[in-house]
Amino acid sequence: MMDLQHGSLFLKTPTIVADTGYAVTAGSRIVIVTAGVRQQEGESRLNLVQRNVNIFKHIIPQIVKHSPNCILVVVSNPVDIMTYVTWKLSGLPKHRVIGSGCNLDSARFRYLMAEKLSVHPTSFHGWILGEHGDSSVPVWSGANVAGVNLQTLNPDIGTDQDKEGWKETHKMVVDSAYEVIKLKGYTNWAIGMSVADLTESLTKNLSRIHPVSTMVKGMYGINEDVYLSLPCVLNNSGVSSVINMTLNAEEVAKLKKSADTLWGIQKDLKDL
């Protein structure tokens, strides 16, 4: 807190407070939850579940007590499950509980694809949806630059038959976190920037669309209470709408499979 306060001259945030007691958080519009244990080298996000559920049982009720009207943004991994857990523990309506989800995966995808095409990431459009993790789904059918659909130029894109090996880019996205963790011990900069990007849409009421983790029951044949990333319109109420993305049969099947994996873990969680 002190280190940030000492930079106040260079900032436009006049009040920076910190405490172990949650009273200091009272009246927050947005609460970002990053607490919990993180992946060790080689460990998958799903391994962290039970440890983090126990931590959230302590955190979430206190947040809601002091900021009953807030929007909760969950970052802790495995984010889709932890967003579900947060929703259950908070009692907040589902549009006010959002997981950072695939906002970062999509950002990494856009960065890597743009590098290959020698354009800026903001000029390459591509969405990664579903689970933030090993089974995320790259929607190749939507990948485009200036509206020119890449799959139309190369129908094999994203398949094993593709001579250009574009599928590798998605694999790099999935491996990204593991690789950075192996090199520097953790990741922080990119996730931090992606969370700030979401916060901007929420606080400035932008109604921009982001791939974030939201409650998807009833969509794409999913019948359980699971959180997965879909393109969501974010404004100052939280998730105001979800875009009905056109997915092919294979992409829908992958989403359903993620949903099943996540529900398999969630149904065993105690006392939510």
Partner 1 sequence: MATVKEQLIEHVMKDEVSIPCGKVTVVGVGAVGMACAISILTKELTDELALVDVIEDKLKGEMMDLQHGGLFLRTPKIVADKDYSCTANSKVVVVTAGARQQEGESRLNLVQRNVNIFKFIIPNIVKYSPNCIILVVSNPVDVLTYVAWKLSGFPRNRVIGSGCNLDSARFRYLMGEKLNLHPSSCHGWVIGEHGDSSVPVWSGVNVAGVSLKNLNPGMGTDEDKENWKEVHKQVVESAYEVIKLKGYTSWAIGMSVADLVESIMKNLRKVHPVSTMVQGMHGVKDEVFLSIPCVLSSSGLSDVVKMTLKSDEEEQLRKSADTLWGIQKELKL
Q: Which residues bind partner 1 (CB under 8 A)?
A: 2-11, 14, 104, 107-108, 110-111, 114, 116-122, 145, 148, 150, 153-154, 157, 163-164, 166, 176, 179-185, 187-190, 192-194, 196-197
Q: How far is the CB of 7 from partner 1 (least distance, A)?
A: 4
Tell me whether residue 67 or residue 151 sits nearer to partner 1 (CB atom).
Answer: 151
Scanning the structure block, which residue is given the tokens 């959230």?
Answer: 56
Tell me whether residue 179 or residue 250 sits nearer to partner 1 (CB atom).
Answer: 179
Catalytic residue among 58, 95, 120, 132: 132
Smallest Cα–Cα separation from 143: which of 194, 168, 109?
109
238 backbone φψ class: left, alpha, beta (φ>0; ψ -120 to 50): left
DSSP 8-class letter at 39: P
Classified as helix, coil or strand, 153 is helix
- H/E element holding 149? strand 148-149
Tell me whether residue 49 or residue 212 sits nearer to partner 1 (CB atom).
Answer: 212
Helix axes 167-184, 103-117, angle to 10 degrees: 110
Query: Does the active-site annotation cover 132?
Result: yes
Are 255 and 249 in contact by the 8 Å Cβ rule? The answer is: no
Tell me whether residue 117 or residue 243 sits nearer to partner 1 (CB atom).
Answer: 117
Tell me whether residue 114 or residue 255 sits nearer to partner 1 (CB atom).
Answer: 114
Q: How far is the CB of 69 from partner 1 (least distance, A)?
A: 28
Smallest Cα–Cα separation from 112: which of 101, 124, 103?
124
d(CA 213, CA 136): 12
Smallest Cα–Cα separation from 59: which of 38, 92, 34, 29?
34
Q: How far is the CB of 234 from partner 1 (least distance, A)?
A: 15
DSSP string, 195-260: HHHHHHHHHTT--EEEEEEEE-TTSTT--S--EEEEEEEEETTEEEEE------HHHHHHHHHHHH
Q: What residues are annotated to the active site?
A: 132
